[in-house]
Amino acid sequence: MAAEVGKSGGKLLAGSVALITGGGTGIGKGIALAFAREGAAVAITGRRKEPLEQTVAEIEKLGSKAVAISGDISSAEDCQNMIINCVMQLGGLTILVNNAGVARFGALDQTSDEDIATMVDTNLRGAMFMTKYAIPELIKHATAGGASVLNIGTSAALTAVKNFSVYSSSKAALHEFTRCMALELSENRVRVNLIDPVAARGLRQQR
């Protein structure tokens, strides 16, 4: 195996394998780099190949193993293939970070049907697909030091914001999905949590 899943070391995540959706830019990239610094092998996914490869190069400079896996989380088939590729290349999966998201703002009656579908498919259904296909692998490694799912939400899901109706609703639904999965997977020793980054100042001003 490329990574010795479950073995401890001097760093907090030594022996862990993490898959981070939307890991080539923004918050996802920051998570990937932080995990790598703590010794995790990291798979990052996204639709654009160039930022994924750039982030992999940065991770490798830190001395950690990293792979880029192209895919669209709105596709159930792509989600399944991303999990399979992570396991094949890194030897397992102990941490799934559902970070990828799409935000498009405007009054509901001015929001295209395509934009509504894209936000719901990416922000909610994508996390569901990724978690579904990751569960068997996470359970496999849960007793060897724990396994976890981390969903990335938004503070905009916690309060009403003008022109955020679709985006905020898709992320608010992610809260309930997280609670349900935490209960569902607890007996298998798989933790499921969510964090809500604070919306950027420019977004808050749109209230």
pLDDT digits (tens, 9 = 90+) for 45-89: 999 999 999 999 999 999 999 999 999 999 999 999 999 999 999
Q: Is 23 exposed, middle or buried (0-12, 13-18, 19+ CB in 10 A)?
A: buried
pLDDT at 201 over 50: no
Q: Using the 8-state DSSP alphabet, how is residue 90 labeled?
A: H
Q: Does residue 8 lie in a domain region?
A: no
* Counted domains in the chain: 1
Task: Examine the residue annotation and report whether 167 is marked as an active-site residue of this protein.
Answer: yes
- For residue 68, the domain's CATH number is 3.40.50.720
151: part of which helix (H) or strand (E)?
Answer: strand 147-152
Spatial distance between the Cα atoms of 86 and 67, rounded to a whole number of angstroms: 8
Q: How far apart are CA 73 and CA 134, in angstroms?
A: 13
CA–CA distance, 162 with 46 (Å, rounded to integer): 29
Residue 1 lies in a domain: no
Q: pLDDT at position 207, please?
A: 30
Question: Tens digit of pLDDT for each residue in 130-166?
Answer: 999 999 999 998 776 679 999 999 888 788 889 899 9
Confirm whether 101 is domain-assigned: yes
Phi and psi dihedrals of 167, rounded to 5? -60, -50
Residue 183: domain span: 17-204
**pLDDT (average), residues 188-206:** 73
Q: CA 50, CA 24: separation in Å to the nearest integer?
A: 8
Do the beta carbons of residue 45 and residue 31 sit within 8 Å?
Answer: no
Q: Which of 148, 167, 169, 177 is catalytic?
A: 167
Residue 72 lies in a domain: yes
Residue 12 lies in a domain: no
pLDDT band at 3; cut points 50, 70, 90: very low
